[in-house]
Structure 1
Amino acid sequence: MIATAPARPAATPTPGLPGRPESREGLRVLTAYVVILFVFPAPMLIAALGQVGGPATLAAVGCFMWWSWTLVNRAVPEPVDAGRVVRIAALVFLLVCVIAYAHSAATPYPADERSLLDAALIRMVGCIGLVCLAADGLRDAEQVWTLVTRLVYVLGAVCAIALVQSFTGEVWVDRISLPGLTPASGIEIAQRGIITRPAGTASHPIELASVLAVGMPLAFAVAGRPGARAWLRRLIAVLVAITLLLIGSRTAIVCGTVGFVAMLFAWNGRTRLIAVGASLLVLCVAFVMLPGFLGTLAGMFLGAGSDPSVASRTDSYRIVEEFWSHHLWIGRGVGTFLPKYWILDNEYLILLIGAGVLGLAALLGLILTAVAVAARAAALARRAGDDSTRQLCVAALGGTLAGAVSMALFDGFSFPQAAGMFFLCLGICGALPRAVASRMASR
């Protein structure tokens, strides 16, 4: 009689891997990142680590490492869905940045550029980690809604801080002292006319404007969802819109308008009228309570021709051509263009210099891919009659567009909160097809 080996037991999925539909580890990790991103003031760093010592930067790199580990140890095949192309586009962009980094290694750059080159690549790894983890780790509609709702609650707290700063003229968060972290002494509260521009826990009011412009459509989508504490979610949506207005910058107005217009396509006629009416009411209240407020806002656009910041942006094209012409396709290395050469308030131009045509094309491809995936998910949700999920899809699309526009108005990748919020929104777009599919399957 021939002895036979005992049958091997079937492999059981490893708990916590994002390949399991019921896994919530990705949601927990991303929630922790959101809290770290906005609770710790942006200027706080671990001094020994320099430019990459920010808690949010380290947490983002941790997201990439966690996602990579779970990808290697996945117990079930990788899900094949429309959101997969977002992850692929993100990894292609990272690959181009790595190639640009390798290319720059053969170029004799000054020491200050070399250190920033290393820091920029590490930050980019973290940003791509956010996209991949959100697109792959959020397993269904309930997890996407949970993350977005938690994000909106955190943004509500940031807006409360910003409003206190605006009315008191004090930073407040610069008084926070935590062992091992440098003080938050770099936060600016700028003054423009009668407007006191708050920064919240960001390092600059423009960074806060970019964050809130991306988050406002998501806040509107969460506010429109029925359930417990609906009044609180609606209050936060109003706070986000008001804070964005009070920042008083072109970035806030332009990018906020992009997100607001996107949501108009998601709402029905009655909700559109309410939203437009509420917007006009807020402007009327600001006109009465803050004399000169609307005039200051109008002056930012009517007087743009004589604004030094606008002149600096238009004069920068000559500088960009001079640097870019030597490294057309792959760039001179992300992060090597220093403010001492010129202050470029345009992330796309900075990336063109740092990663060349290929890098800029890869980033634009990632943005367009995320927008297309969100639009397709919204169309599927509409055909399925799931209005709340459709609004979430349009909100993610609107937030992505608002973030993309903001990157043309300032060097957003240099600011951890702006970059983190933008890439997280890209990742949420990648998770939407699975969210819509799970909702359709549960019906």
Structure 2
Amino acid sequence: MSAPTPPKARADGATLACVYALVMTVIPASMVLKGVPMAVTPGMMVGFVMGVLWFCAQLVTTLGVAKGRNAARTALFLFALSQLATYGVATYGYLPSDELAAADRTLITLTAVFAVGLAVVDGVRGLDRIDRVLKTMVVGATFMAFVGILQFSFAIDLTQYLTPPILKANGEVSFVLERSNFRRPAGTAGHPIEFGVVCAMAVPIALHYAMRARDFGGPDKRWWFCLGILAMASMQSLSRSAVLALAIAAMFIIPAMPPKRRVRALFGIVLFLGAMRVMVPGLVGTLYSLFTSIDEDPSAESRRRAIERAGSEIAEHLIFGRGMGTYLPEKYGWLDNQYLGTLVQNGVLGILALIGLYAAGWYCCFRARMVTKDPRIKDLAVTVAACIAVPGISSATFDLLGFAVATGFTFLLVGLAGALWRHVQEDAARPAALPRTEVAR
């Protein structure tokens, strides 16, 4: 008699989170839905669906969706309340039509990513489902990195073939720029900086699953391949933010490794840099010069002038800011600093909520690492914390919330940190298994 077929796993919050991660990385960021008055991306639509389903699931107790307090959940709500408060204050008075339209668009965009984070915190249950979402993020980011490598190495742009019939391009968008005689790819992201930062976010996850497969069994070659593609693409983005993001992630992960593995990791980094020098002559030197000649770099000078431009705005709208989305770069100048931009547009209230979002993600990860005795969860907690550190630090070097893929991945990671902490709490509260004699009795 043949063995019974195991039942199919039903779709849940992790399934929707996987769909969201793939939509954000496979479909070019410039694509929006046809026939919709506002520029609505496929990722935004998936986010709205996740939000509606989360709300409906909170009304019943039979769908397995978590309820109750959680540090990441609270931080997400506080972030959403801060955005609504600044939107209300800004629209209470007069706003030029272009700034009002930008404020409306920003509110809708942030509502979608807020819904994603909330749905992940409560809807992704169990370590297996958390692993599934993180692995999907690695696969999606690897695909984006592969597209970027083709753009950098061969000037082949696959994004022109990744447009479904229901989508259209939102304005003139170029996925390949230039810097220091190199092509500067964006993959399927909106800009090379975003491309590099998103690839750097996925590097710790790929490394985690490669190491876990080696320690606990399972295929590891696929994850080493993903790690190599992601690390190479981060370098080829020719972005200071991406290089800084890789360094920050390494500062989280390497100290948490056993001593022998720590030495091998440092040796691997040196070997990787040497391979990049041979494969792409001049690339490592160009990246090095981006930091050594920062005083002469026009982009660095622009960032210094941005602080002066923002000073008067901050003094005039200290608490609530001038209104989210109302500081138009084409009109007032680029800031290239999310913390500075949040202080200008959302005031002290907004900047505290943004910092609290990152802090809540780190809190959930480190609490999970301290409480659990499972070495796999301990390593995963450090990995997710390192991933959240990438946007947390990179927010000081570019406008993170102005880029859809980086923002979506950030809220996914904060939601997964909350889901991991919730899983550890539930596992600790679960009663221990009875001894065999008690079971027999």
Greater CA deviation, 45-54 or 213-222?
45-54
Matched length: 418
Is 1:118–2:118 an aligned residue pair?
no
- Per-residue deviation at 1:326? 2.0
- CA 1:164/1:374 → structure 2, altered by over 3 Å: closer, same or farther? same
Question: Which of residues 321, 328, 346 in structure 2 aligns to 1:355?
Answer: 346
Instruction: Indicate if the aligned counterparts of 2:206 and 2:226 stay in contact, CA closer than 8 A.
Output: yes
- Per-residue deviation at 1:53? 1.1
Could you tell me which amino acid in structure 2 is paired with residue 305 of structure 1? D
Greater CA deviation, 395-404 or 321-330?
321-330
- Per-residue deviation at 1:314? 0.9
Identity of aligned residues (%): 27
Q: What is residue 24 of structure 2 aligned with on the other side?
A: 37
Cα deviation per residue 1:96-147 (whole Å; 9 max; x = unaligned)? 1111111112121111111110110111111111211111111111111111
Is 1:380–2:336 an aligned residue pair?
no
Unaligned runs of 5+ in 1: 1-21
- CA 1:195/1:369 → structure 2, altered by over 3 Å: closer, same or farther? same
Is 1:326–2:316 an aligned residue pair?
yes
Please show how residues 247-396 of structure 1 align to structure 2 within 5 Å: 247-339=237-329, 340-381=331-372, 384=373, 386-396=374-384
Give TM-score, length-normalised by structure 2: 0.89
- Per-residue deviation at 1:37? 1.0
Instruction: Indicate if the aligned counterparts of 1:171 and 1:187 stay in contact, CA closer than 8 A.
Output: no
Distance 1:305 1:433 in 2: 43
Instruction: Indicate if the aligned counterparts of 1:103 and 1:333 stay in contact, CA closer than 8 A.
Output: yes
Cα deviation per residue 1:68-112 (whole Å; 9 max; x = unaligned)? 22112344898577x712101111110111111111121211111
Question: Which of residues 145, 151, 173 in structure 1 aligns to 2:131?
Answer: 145
Q: What is residue 162 of structure 1 aligned with on the other side?
A: 148
- CA 1:220/1:438 → structure 2, altered by over 3 Å: closer, same or farther? farther
Q: What is residue 5 of structure 1 aligned with on the other side?
A: none
Could you tell me which amino acid in structure 2 is paired with residue 357 of structure 1? V
Distance 1:258 1:374 in 2: 16
Cα deviation per residue 1:345-389 (whole Å; 9 max; x = unaligned)? 0111111121111011111112111111111111223xx1x2222
Question: Which of residues 396, 399, 407 in structure 2 aligns to 1:411?
Answer: 399
Cα deviation per residue 1:399-418 (whole Å; 9 max; x = unaligned)? 11111111211111111101
Q: What is residue 189 of structure 2 aligned with on the other side?
A: 202
Could you tell me which amino acid in structure 2 is paired with residue 301 of structure 1? F
- Per-residue deviation at 1:51? 5.2
- Per-residue deviation at 1:62? 2.0
Could you tell me which amino acid in structure 2 is paired with residue 54 of structure 1? T
Distance 1:326 1:289 in 2: 52
Instruction: Indicate if the aligned counterparts of 1:45 and 1:181 stay in contact, CA closer than 8 A.
Output: yes
Cα deviation per residue 1:135-186 (whole Å; 9 max; x = unaligned)? 1111111111111112212222222222111111232213444223113751
Instruction: Indicate if the aligned counterparts of 1:347 and 1:411 stay in contact, CA closer than 8 A.
Output: yes
Could you tell me which amino acid in structure 2 is paired with residue 161 of structure 1? V
Instruction: Indicate if the aligned counterparts of 1:140 and 1:438 stay in contact, CA closer than 8 A.
Output: no
Give TM-score, length-normalised by structure 1: 0.89
Q: What is residue 398 of structure 1 aligned with on the other side?
A: 386
Greater CA deviation, 309-318 or 50-59?
50-59
Distance 1:373 1:23 in 2: 27
- Per-residue deviation at 1:197? 2.1
Distance 2:63 2:412 in 1: 25
Distance 1:50 1:202 in 2: 23
Greater CA deviation, 333-342 or 431-440?
431-440
Q: CA RMSD in A?
A: 2.2
Q: What is residue 425 of structure 1 aligned with on the other side?
A: 413
- Per-residue deviation at 1:291? 2.5
Instruction: Indicate if the aligned counterparts of 1:174 and 1:187 stay in contact, CA closer than 8 A.
Output: no
Greater CA deviation, 145-154 or 218-227?
218-227
- CA 1:132/1:245 → structure 2, altered by over 3 Å: closer, same or farther? same
Is 1:134–2:124 an aligned residue pair?
no
Question: Which of residues 96, 105, 110 in structure 1 aligns to 2:82?
Answer: 96
- CA 1:430/1:52 → structure 2, altered by over 3 Å: closer, same or farther? farther
Distance 1:158 1:106 in 2: 41
Distance 1:182 1:24 in 2: 29
Could you tell me which amino acid in structure 1 is paired with residue 268 of structure 2? A
- Per-residue deviation at 1:55? 0.6
Q: Which secondary structure does the structure 1 equivalent of 2:183 belong to?
A: strand
Unaligned runs of 5+ in 2: 1-8, 434-441
Please show how residues 206-225 of structure 1 align to structure 2 within 5 Å: 206-225=193-212
Could you tell me which amino acid in structure 1 is paired with residue 353 of structure 2? A
- CA 1:280/1:50 → structure 2, altered by over 3 Å: closer, same or farther? farther
Distance 1:68 1:189 in 2: 40
Instruction: Indicate if the aligned counterparts of 1:224 and 1:388 stay in contact, CA closer than 8 A.
Output: no
Distance 1:170 1:51 in 2: 31
- Per-residue deviation at 1:193? 2.0
Q: Which secondary structure does the structure 2 equivalent of 1:108 belong to?
A: coil
